[in-house]
A and B are shown apart, each in its own frame.
Chain A
Amino acid sequence: MKVCLAGHKVQGPGHVLSRRQFIKGSAAVCGAVAAPVIIPASALGRGGAVAPSERIVMAGIGLGGRGTADLSSWVLPDPQAQFVAICDVRRERREAIKAMTDRKYGNTDCKTYVDMMEVLARPDIDAILTATGDRLHATVSILSMRAGKDVYTEKPASMTVAEGQAVVCAAKQYGRVYQAGMQRLSEANFIVCNELLRLGRLGEVKTVYAHLAPWGNVNMERKWLPEEPLPGADEVDWDRWLGPCPWRPYNKSYVQGGWRHHHDFYTSVIGEWGSHTFGQCQAALGLSDTSPVRYPYVPTPTADGMEMPFANGVTMIQKQEGWRGTCGVRYVGSEGWAACADGYARPEVSNPALLADYNKILQDYITRTGHVVGHMQDFFKCVKNRALAVANPVTMHRSMTTVHCANIAQWLKRDMTWDPVKEEFVNDEQANRLLSRAAREGWQIV
């Protein structure tokens, strides 16, 4: 046995631990049996002032535009949380997040990191906020949970079915709280729509519509962007940026959001909003722990109109139009319909009477489920009481499975049947090949 004896330099997250051990001696990081010295944030919220020892200590990993919005509108203003560190492979982002945080807290305490393993090794950190590109959401989440951190991750939170399964497994195994950024599950209007369906106010619901982004294609770009000179690792650590994905030459456009629409980094037009709207529909139907069973190929570049039935006969239909705002859902029942999208003052309903007791419906939901309105609030509450968050790993994984299955049906241009129990396609060996992807050397994390 010569495991762990040498700090051989290898790419990827695996090597960091061995290097740290090599430098500091294994007991410092991993050998300790004794209880951690720092007591993590706990106790129920008391409203108003929160003692420093009760705050949830958070760090960010990969915060771009969306991550900045999460941080500035939900984390920094919240007295329950204390944001202490930013890890990003781009210097520009590290500096921007540090500046924003320090300005808010009036100090210079926010630490910066390039290597996420270093930030995850800090025992004082309770929770991670991550909003990298899609390709790394699951990797960062799993490594964070393995390090004992709770995780709020942006969506789409898995690149493949296998990745989603690994997230579910890690959260369970390490007993961590996980919230995927499907924030409409915590918005009043959408909650009320879901409750209208659940309470039977719409009659028997056989059809639900999930909004599909009105841009992009299912078949994504396979062509690389032209090679540009690679900046220093301090400016952009390109190798870490790529993570488990296939290597390709650097082009600054990728790191500035241009990774979208590239096959290796993106879950297509379907994943863009399906990662929200499928989850919303499935939650409304009480089908968050399964996925549709059939994915009929639609001969369009976007899968617009794909009708996906669940095993119980309810059909979820992907639609690019039909709402005035983004990320809409529409539930059509025998006695009425309800619809909602971003920007609606109130849900749209077939009869205004459906909304007469809007507040009561909302409060009943809160009492029944213990969830609250406000997605980060729900996460914080669960971090404190260890309950399952509303967008827990299963909810994320099963709705992302719907995304992946629909993508695969479109890529292979044929109708697919999915077995949600075995989590595999029925009688389609080729489709089953697409349920996982090989990671680069050193990036295997499960």
Chain B
Amino acid sequence: MNKTVFFLLSLVAGLSVRAELSSDILLDEEKLIEIIGKPDTSDNDMVTACQNLGWCGGAKAIGSLAGLLGHEKAIYRHAARYGLEMIPDPAVEVVLIDATGRLSGPALVGVLQSLGNRGSEKSVAALARSMADGDAAVAQAAVQALGKLGLASAMQALKPGLGKCPKVAQAYLAGAKTIARKNPSKAAELFAEIRACKQNVCPSVRLAAARGEMLSSGKQGLQLWSEMITSADARTSDTALRVVLDFPSDRKATAVFAGELVVPLAKMPETQAKLALVLGKRGDTAAVPALAALADCGSGASCQNRLAAASALAMLNDPAAIPPLQALAGSDDAAVAEAAKNDLMGFTGKAADDAVLAMMGNAEASIRMAGLEMALRRRMVVAVPAMVKLSSDSDAKIADAAVKGVGDLGTAEEIPLLLSLIRENPQNESAVRALSSLCSRYARPRGGKTGIKSAAYGFFESGLTKDVTANVQRLVDAGSITIQSSGRLCKWDGFSEDPAPGKQKSLRMVYTFDGVEKSVQVRENESVHLSGEKLLPVAMDPIKAAYDAASGEHKIALLRALISLSNQQGLEIARAAAQDKDAALQEAAIRALAAWRTPEALDDAARYAKDAPSERLKILALRGFLRQLEMSFTIPLDRQIAMLEDAQSWAVRDEDKTLVNTMIDAARKLQGELGFKPMFDGKSLDQWKGGGGWWEVKDGILQAQSSVEKPCTKNSQLIWTGGQPADFEIRADFKLSPTANSGIQLRAADEEFGDTGYQADMNGGGDYVGFLYHPKQHLVGERGAKVTIATDGKKTVERFADAKELGDKVFKKDDWNEYTIIAKGSVITLYVNGMKTCELIDHRPEMMPKKGVITLQMHAGPPMKIQYRNLRIKML
């Protein structure tokens, strides 16, 4: 064995210890003891090994760890205690107590801490000894540990120091608290001793002791509480307030607390308000009489304090809260009034409802308004008759809000009222809206009438979609009338699976209602409304009768209400109105058809885009036509393009022409994508294998990245598992770091580390982008040239552009670029960003195989990053 080999072996041995300790949690007592015993173990390994011994160690470990308690390195001492404190064996106490006799200074401080944490009675004597240590830190640690023990003997040891040092009082407090769990009366005595000290007790410890005493000494505690709650010192009264929450359930105790509320605290309004609220939080109705007295107008308290008492009553859900809240809701102090209204709104039950109704009938306008607001927020259907009454209130604001309420909560019985309001004043927007809102509740589709034929969600342009038919049907069955286009449609139990991460998705639905088939497409986060397919006669008949009899502005107002549901009846009415001789009605109808929420008015919009009576209406109709066309996915693309080409001539303004042209381009592009299927799903490597471990999916991108620490030293291929296509077109976006070197191999061999077939070449600098490379012939398919190779190998080059110039023109460095690769028989053509860069015709079968796999190359080289997205293929 030579020196180098020995060195390497020892390095490996060292590494394996490191590896064992860092990768997983090593819990092998023998091995760990061996590690801490080795002279060359690193500090890091020492700490980890000691910690792990705490997890798994026994008697043997105690011996090893004890040896480190007095170590000169603080880090080892701590590590030893870290381990020892965890081991339940009483032998730990033995070694720790033993160490107190040997150690001093910081080492001893640590050991005393550990004894405190261990909680053994055996350590009391040793801790008491250390209390007298000349080193203040040691003495303090001993005091603290004795307090932590919470044992009678430890308290005995601490007692002489009480009143002489604040640290002792603090420790005494800790001990008393522990004792209180098992022996409250004993603890009460101990707490009282702390309070009795004239000096050397921190204020917070003194208050804590008082609190302990109150909670552990029953009735006497309540006496102390009464003294403290009326203290002028806020911290003292705050402590008493907290006791109200912590004191055990007991109606008598609550009565004592509540007894201080009204009179004794009248001069201390801040404490009074706080006490009212904590009494509410305490949840005991024994406080109700006192709270009601404070909340009462006659209590003489400020409106803030009356509100606090009323809110507390509301927390207790006691109806006594209602009259004061009602009074406070009309308070001049806006904040108080708002808070009272909120509390009243959150108050449940009939008593509260009655109070609101009474407010609605009040002579004072502001109280009527407040009552109305509350009825609306509480959604009180019982308040509808009162709202009807208020709809003719002398106060216009109240009348307006009441009409809105009738719309929100009313029934068909209220339709005549709304119709008469509109007849009286066609400008009454609230009444028109209320009528629409009311109607929407009479248009709910009934069970079994809506059938979902198909529903799909995703990014249709690249086929990354998911069938959500069953889930949409379940929503409809559950009574949903609005289907939101969102990822939650993808899985019923809620765990949505994004079919196309990072893409703007759409929902496409084909459904039937009353046997009529409809289809619609909406974007992500838009909704499909299934409601209002038919307005029930009970609502429809009176409105239609009024509409037929009306004229002028009155008729227009009713038209707006009738068409607000975008249903079939509304559509027919709008179509008829668009032909009316009343120009104003005609205009309103055309506007409505243009803005129709479903694509059903597409033809109408087209018609008026062409020949509406005014230019303004033509523009509106065109916009509406384009919007509705966007929703009409069932119209074949070539038909859509033809319709858009017609629309070019309807466009009046330049910006509309541009818009139409943009849509034509988009539709043509989409048409060009027909037949393509995704090679990459945007979220997994499901269609790929191999790749030398380099490839991953991040934010919808397929990527490979090497670094200085992890260099790429060998070429590898990520292989598409979708087959061995013969003739095809591939489109892909790629982005390369400046040093990256990659390429798409065509008709290659199925080898992870192979290098076969023609390659659509690419590199970050752009020098090879747009070239067709071959491992045996290198850059044979030159950029800017048509290359033909005969069966005998004779090569003909016809240049159509300069290689460099073309490269500079088409390639965007450090940005996304698109490759289009067409392989058909013996011809391969490349396009970069839509521009042809190379065409190669190779007649030699040995060089141009008929089919093969498609792979993405990661080329060895300096640190690099390669990214692909939108990889798709179409078989030719």
Question: Do these two chains interact?
Answer: yes
| Residue total for B at the interface (Cβ-Cβ under 8 A) | 121
Question: Quick one: given A6-B136, A433-B86, A441-B74, are A33 and B167 in contact (CB under 8 Å)?
Answer: no
Q: What is the 8 Å Cβ interface bit string for chain A, positions 385-423, against chain B (1 contact, 0 not)? A: 111100000000000000000000001100000000000
Q: Do A18 and B208 touch (CB < 8 A)? A: no
- Find the B residue at minimum CB distance from A322: B495
How far apart sit A324 and B85, CA to CA, in the bound complex (Å)? 44
Name which of A66-74, A169-177, A229-237 contacts chain B. A169-177
Q: Do A30 and B202 touch (CB < 8 A)? A: yes
Q: Which residues in window 32-89 of B have CB below 8 A to A? A: 43-44, 47-48, 51, 54-56, 74-75, 77-79, 81-82, 84-88
A147 contacts partner chain B, Cβ-Cβ < 8 Å: yes
Q: Across the interface, which residues of B come within 8 angstroms of A384, CB to CB? A: 274
Question: Quick one: given A348-B494, A386-B241, A386-B242, are A175 and B274 in contact (CB under 8 Å)?
Answer: no
Q: Across the interface, which residues of A come within 8 angstroms of B148, CB to CB? A: 446
Q: Do A31 and B238 touch (CB < 8 A)? A: no
Q: Do A30 and B166 touch (CB < 8 A)? A: yes
B314 contacts partner chain A, Cβ-Cβ < 8 Å: yes
Q: Do B109 and A10 touch (CB < 8 A)? A: yes
Q: Which residues in window 43-82 of A have CB below 8 A to B? A: 43-44, 46-48
Pick from A27, A148, A221, A322: contact of B203, CB under 8 Å: A148
How far apart sit A222 and B43, CA to CA, in the bound complex (Å)? 12
- Find the A residue at minimum CB distance from B174: A446
How far apart sit A269 and B597, CA to CA, in the bound complex (Å)? 46
Q: Across the interface, which residues of B come within 8 angstroms of A23, CB to CB? A: none
Q: Across the interface, which residues of B come within 8 angstroms of A321, CB to CB? A: 495
Pick from B51, B109, B315: contact of A368, CB under 8 Å: B315
B161 contacts partner chain A, Cβ-Cβ < 8 Å: yes
Question: Quick one: given A434-B55, A438-B82, are A429 and B88 in contact (CB under 8 Å)?
Answer: yes
A295 contacts partner chain B, Cβ-Cβ < 8 Å: no
Q: Do B139 and A46 touch (CB < 8 A)? A: no
Q: What is the 8 Å Cβ interface bit string for chain B, positions 213-242, against chain A (1 contact, 0 not)? A: 000000000000000000111111011011
Count of CB-CB pairs between chains A and B under 8 Å = 276
| Residue total for A at the interface (Cβ-Cβ under 8 A) | 94
Nearest Cβ distance between residue A381 and chain B, in whole angstroms? Answer: 9
Q: Across the interface, which residues of B come within 8 angstroms of A99, CB to CB? A: none
Pick from A26, A223, A350, A370: contact of B311, CB under 8 Å: A370
How far apart sit A48 and B333, CA to CA, in the bound complex (Å)? 12
Q: Which residues in window 494-539 of B have CB below 8 A to A? A: 494-496
How far apart sit A148 and B168, CA to CA, in the bound complex (Å)? 18
Q: Across the interface, which residues of B come within 8 angstroms of A368, CB to CB? A: 315, 317, 346
Q: What is the 8 Å Cβ interface bit string for chain B, positions 158-200, against chain A (1 contact, 0 not)? A: 0011001111101001100100000000000000000000111
Q: Across the interface, which residues of A come within 8 angstroms of B874, CB to CB? A: none
Name which of A273-281, A286-294, A351-359 contacts chain B. A351-359
Q: Do A363 and B488 touch (CB < 8 A)? A: no
Q: What is the 8 Å Cβ interface bit string for chain B, positions 352-363, against chain A (1 contact, 0 not)? A: 000000000000
Q: Do A146 and B137 touch (CB < 8 A)? A: no
Main secondary structure of the interface of B (DSSP, over half): helix
Q: Across the interface, which residues of A come within 8 angstroms of B24, CB to CB? A: 219
Q: Across the interface, which residues of B come within 8 angstroms of A147, CB to CB? A: 204
B342 contacts partner chain A, Cβ-Cβ < 8 Å: yes
Nearest Cβ distance between residue B252 and chain A, in whole angstroms? Answer: 22
A246 contacts partner chain B, Cβ-Cβ < 8 Å: yes
Nearest Cβ distance between residue A389 and chain B, in whole angstroms? Answer: 12
Q: Across the interface, which residues of A come within 8 angstroms of B201, CB to CB? A: 30, 33
Q: Do A387 and B245 touch (CB < 8 A)? A: yes
Q: Which residues in window 329-355 of A have CB below 8 A to B? A: 330, 332, 337, 339, 348, 350-353
Q: Do B136 and A441 touch (CB < 8 A)? A: no
Q: Across the interface, which residues of A come within 8 angstroms of B140, CB to CB? A: 3-4, 14, 18
How far apart sit A395 and B205, CA to CA, in the bound complex (Å)? 25
Q: Given A31-B200, A36-B235, list of 7 further CB < 8 A pairs?
A: A4-B167, A26-B200, A33-B201, A35-B236, A42-B270, A174-B207, A246-B79
A–B pairs, 23, beta carbons within 8 Å: A1-B132, A1-B160, A2-B132, A3-B136, A3-B167, A4-B167, A30-B201, A40-B234, A40-B235, A172-B246, A246-B79, A322-B496, A330-B494, A330-B495, A339-B494, A348-B486, A360-B346, A363-B377, A386-B238, A436-B85, A441-B109, A441-B110, A442-B106
Binding site for B on A (CB under 8 A): 1-8, 10-11, 14-15, 17-18, 26-27, 29-33, 35-36, 39-40, 42-44, 46-48, 146-148, 169, 172-175, 209, 219, 221-224, 246-249, 319, 321-322, 324, 330, 332, 337, 339, 348, 350-353, 357, 359-360, 363-370, 384-388, 411-412, 429-430, 432-434, 436-442, 444, 446
